[in-house]
C-alpha cells in the first residue's frame, strides 16, 4: 500500500504553493531559521568549442553500455578547475558537473530501450540536455540522428574543461567507425537507406532562472542550420545506427541491471497514455521555437531549485509534442528534492502529464527512477 503523501496532509495546498512557502518562510515545517545567503549565479552565456581549455588534462575512459555501444567518459581534476576538492556540490558555485552520476547511465540505457520499443526517435529532433556535465545523454541523441543538440550546465568551466572535450571525443570515435555513403539524394536518403545527419551542437552556461535568454532555439535562432561552424560534425549514419531491433515476440518481461519492464502490455499502456507524443510531431520546424526533447539527469536534487527548473522547461519545450526525460533518485535526503517531488510540482500545474518509464532498485541504495513528461 502506498504511504500517505506529505502533501495530502495539507488540504487545499498545492505542491507549488508548498515549495514557495518553504522558500519564503524559514520556519515552515521545522526548517532551520537561518538560510545560507548564496552568491549571485554566474552570467548566462554561450560557450564556444574554440574556448575549450587545452591546458586541462582530460583522460578518456570507455563505458560499455548494453546493446554493444561504448561511450567515452572524460576524467578531470575538479580541484584544479574549480578548487572544490572532495565536494560534489558547492551551492551557488558548483553544481556537480564534473562528476559522472549513476542516473546518467540509467538514462542513456533507458533511452536506448525507448527507441527499441518504438516509444522514441531522435531523428531530426532538436534536443536540450540540462545540467549536462559529461553530456552522455546528449551525445547519445547525436548518435541517434538528432538535428541539433544543445548542452547546458551551471558552470562555464565544466563546459570548457569537460563537456566540449567529451562530446568531441565521442563523436570523433563514432565518425571513425561509420560506413561512408557516397551517393545521397536531395532528401538525405541514399540507396541503402543510410541517412546524412549534421547535428548542430551548442553549449550554454548559466543558472536556470535566466539561461533561456541565451538558448538559440528558444529565441527562434538558427538552430538546426547545419552550417558546420565552431566544431559541428557531419556524420553519415547507416540504418542500423538509427533503428534498434524490437525484442522477439513472446518476450513478456525484460529485466536488466535492476530494471524491470513489462513487455507488450507496458508498450500498449504507454501508447494509450500519449507518452509517444514526440513521434506525432513533424520535423520541418526550423522556424519554430522550442526543443522536441529535453533530457536531464540528477537535476531534481534540490527542493529550492525545482520551481525555476520547471519554469525553464515550460519556456524551452515545444508544444504540443515535446517530451521531457528526467532521471534522478526518488528522494534526495538532506536537500529535500527527488523525482516524486518534481512529479507533484508538474502535475499540480496541470499542463503536463507524467509516466514512470523505469526504476532501478538494488536493495542497498536509494531507488533511481526515469520519468517521462508530456503535454496533456
CA atoms within 13 A on the CB side of 244: 23
How many CA atoms, within 13 angstroms, populate the side-chain half-sphere of residue 220? 4
Q: What is the mean pLDDT of residues 266-280?
A: 42
Please give the average per-residue pLDDT across 145-167, as a whole number: 95
Cell triple for 23: 522558500
Residue with the bigger pLDDT between 201 and 283: it is: 201
Quickly tell me which residue has 560534425 as its cell.
Answer: 233
Give the model's pLDDT for residue 17.
54
Average pLDDT in the 229-256 region? 41
Residue 353 predicted with pLDDT over 90 = yes
The conformation of residue 88, written as its DSSP 8-state character, comes to S
pLDDT at residue number 122: 97
The model carries a pTM of 0.73
CA–CA separation, 16 vs 267, rounded Å? 31
pLDDT, tens digit, for every residue of 176-232?
Answer: 875 333 333 344 433 334 444 569 999 999 999 999 999 977 744 433 333 444 444
Most confident option among 159-173, 188-202, 261-275: 159-173
Please provide residue 113's backbone torsions phi and psi, each rounded to the nearest 5 degrees: -70, -35
Tens-place pLDDT, residues 35-93:
567 778 888 999 999 999 988 889 999 999 988 899 999 998 877 777 766 666 666 66
Q: What is the mean pLDDT of residues 341-357?
A: 97
pLDDT of residue 238: 43
Evaluate if residue 304 carries a pLDDT over 60: yes
The Cα angle at residue 38 between residues 36 and 43, in degrees rounded to 5:
170
pLDDT at residue 56 in the model = 84
Mean pLDDT of 275-301: 69
What phi and psi, each to the nearest 5 degrees, are found at residue 311?
-65, -35
Residue 116: band (very low, low, confident or very high) from pLDDT cuts 50, 70, 90: very high
Q: How far apart are CA 322 and CA 290, in angstroms?
A: 8
Average pLDDT over residues 227-247: 43
Whether the predicted pLDDT of 295 surpasses 80 = yes
One-character DSSP codes across 150-194: EEEES-HHHIIIIIHHHHHHHHHHHHHHSPP---B-TTSBBTT--
Between CA 43 and CA 59 the distance in angstroms is 29
* Percentage of the chain exceeding pLDDT 70: 62
Q: What is the pLDDT of residue 8?
A: 43
Residue 145, C-beta contacts closer than 8 angstroms, at least 6 positions apart = 121, 122, 123, 124, 125, 195, 197, 237, 241, 242
Amino acid at each position: 500500500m502506498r504511504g500517505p503523501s506529505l502533501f495530502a496532509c495539507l488540504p487545499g495546498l498545492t505542491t507549488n504553493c508548498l515549495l514557495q512557502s518553504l522558500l519564503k518562510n524559514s520556519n515552515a515545517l521545522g526548517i532551520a531559521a537561518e538560510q545560507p545567503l548564496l552568491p549571485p549565479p554566474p552570467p548566462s552565456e554561450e560557450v564556444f568549442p574554440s574556448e575549450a581549455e587545452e591546458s586541462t588534462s582530460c583522460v578518456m575512459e570507455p563505458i560499455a553500455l548494453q546493446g554493444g555501444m561504448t561511450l567515452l567518459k572524460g576524467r578531470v581534476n575538479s580541484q584544479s578547475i574549480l578548487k572544490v576538492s572532495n565536494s560534489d556540490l558547492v551551492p551557488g558555485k558548483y553544481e556537480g558537473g564534473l562528476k559522472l552520476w549513476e542516473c546518467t547511465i540509467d538514462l542513456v540505457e533507458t533511452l536506448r530501450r525507448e527507441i527499441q520499443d518504438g516509444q522514441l526517435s531522435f531523428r531530426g529532433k532538436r534536443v536540450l540536455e540540462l545540467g549536462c556535465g559529461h553530456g552522455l545523454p546528449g551525445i547519445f541523441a547525436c548518435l541517434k540522428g538528432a538535428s541539433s543538440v544543445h548542452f547546458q550546465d551551471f558552470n562555464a568551466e565544466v563546459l570548457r574543461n569537460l563537456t566540449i572535450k567529451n562530446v568531441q571525443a565521442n563523436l570523433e570515435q563514432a565518425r571513425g567507425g561509420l560506413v561512408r555513403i557516397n551517393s545521397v539524394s536531395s532528401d538525405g536518403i541514399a540507396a541503402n537507406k543510410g541517412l546524412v545527419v549534421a547535428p548542430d551542437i551548442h553549449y550554454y552556461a548559466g543558472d536556470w532562472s535566466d539561461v533561456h535568454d541565451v538558448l538559440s532555439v528558444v529565441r527562434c535562432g538558427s538552430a538546426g542550420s547545419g552550417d558546420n561552424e565552431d566544431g559541428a560534425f557531419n556524420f553519415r549514419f547507416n540504418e542500423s545506427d538509427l533503428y534498434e531491433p524490437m525484442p522477439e515476440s513472446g518476450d513478456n518481461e525484460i529485466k536488466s541491471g535492476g530494471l524491470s519492464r513489462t513487455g507488450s502490455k507496458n508498450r500498449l499502456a504507454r501508447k494509450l497514455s500519449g507518452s509517444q507524443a514526440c513521434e506525432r510531431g513533424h520535423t520541418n520546424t526550423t522556424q519554430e521555437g522550442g526543443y522536441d526533447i529535453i533530457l536531464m539527469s540528477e537535476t531534481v536534487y534540490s527542493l529550492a531549485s525545482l520551481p525555476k527548473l520547471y519554469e525553464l522547461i515550460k519556456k524551452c519545450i515545444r508544444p504540443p509534442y515535446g517530451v521531457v526525460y528526467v532521471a534522478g533518485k526518488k528522494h534526495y535526503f538532506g536537500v529535500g528534492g527527488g523525482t516524486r517531488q518534481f512529479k507533484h510540482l508538474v502535475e499540480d500545474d496541470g499542463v503536463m502529464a507524467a509516466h514512470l518509464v523505469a526504476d532501478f532498485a538494488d536493495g542497498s541504495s536509494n531507488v533511481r527512477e526515469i520519468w517521462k513528461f508530456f503535454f496533456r
